């Protein structure tokens, strides 16, 4: 094994620990999520045990990163990012745009054409959302407000407010969503007009 590969393998433990701490979860919680024992997770994080592929796969899935990112594999020189869209049973598609755990998470949503009389299923959760419409018309129900956002328009709100997103009958809608922990807001800076 070359020195660079040995350094990469030796650095996996501290990377695993840092990822877990950024997610603010315990070894016990991670064990429940991945099916890997607490003692094995602890030995992996401290470098007392080298990880196997069978251990790295559930850890990468749990942290929402690729195997390459999990082990900080040497760069291949290929700058492409392979985004994996997630198709949902309701016809919508979600494309995760960020892979690092913690911090603000970015997603692209594509929602199929809806019905203008669709009954929204309002949801709440911890966090803060910033939504930017790329194409189409986004119906946002936010508390007692029922708003139509057009391309280029933005909405930001505390996700503890009951909310729902949908497309109108005019056609599908594409929008970007930045979601952060409670109190963590997206900041957009624009140059002043001269």
- Domain tally, the chain: 2
- Note the pLDDT of residue 185: 56
Query: Where a domain ends, among 11, 37, 71?
Result: 71
Can you give the chain as a three-state secondary structure string? CCHHHHHHHHCHHHHHHHHHHHHCCCHHHHHHHHCCCHHHHHHHHHCCCCCCHHHHHHHHHHHCCCHHHHHCCCCCCCCCCCCCCEECCCCCEEEECCCCCCCCEEEEEEECCCCCCCCCCCECCCCEEEEEEEECCEEEEECCEEEEECCCCEEEEECCCCEEEEECCCCCEEEEEEEECCCCCCCCCCCCCC
- Note the pLDDT of residue 174: 95
67 with 90, same domain: the answer is no
- Note the pLDDT of residue 72: 73
61 with 98, same domain: the answer is no
For the chain, which ranges sit under pLDDT 50?
A: none
Q: Is residue 142 part of a domain?
A: yes
Containing domain of residue 134, as a range?
86-180
175 with 93, same domain: the answer is yes
50-92 pLDDT, tens digit per residue, is 888 899 888 888 877 777 777 776 666 666 666 778 888 888 8
Q: How many CB atoms lie within 10 A of CB 185?
A: 15
151 with 112, same domain: the answer is yes
- Note the pLDDT of residue 133: 96
């Amino acid at each position: 094994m070359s020195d660079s590969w040995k350094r990469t393998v030796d650095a996996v433990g501290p990377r695993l620990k840092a990822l877990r701490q950024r997610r603010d979860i315990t070894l016990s919680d991670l064990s429940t999520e991945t099916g890997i024992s607490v003692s094995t997770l602890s030995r992996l994080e401290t470098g007392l045990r080298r990880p196997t592929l069978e251990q790295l796969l559930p850890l990468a899935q749990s942290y929402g990163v690729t195997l390459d990112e999990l082990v900080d594999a040497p760069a291949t020189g290929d700058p492409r990012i392979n985004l994996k869209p997630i198709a949902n049973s309701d016809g919508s598609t979600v494309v995760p745009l960020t892979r690092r755990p913690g911090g603000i998470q970015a997603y692209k949503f594509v929602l199929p054409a809806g019905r203008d009389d669709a009954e929204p299923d309002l949801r709440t959760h911890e966090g803060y959302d910033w939504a930017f419409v790329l194409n189409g018309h986004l119906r946002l129900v936010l508390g007692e407000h029922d708003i139509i956002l057009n391309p280029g328009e933005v909405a930001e709100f505390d996700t503890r407010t009951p909310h729902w997103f949908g497309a109108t009958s005019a056609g599908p809608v594409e929008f970007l969503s930045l979601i952060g922990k409670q109190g963590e807001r997206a900041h957009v800076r624009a140059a002043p007009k001269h």
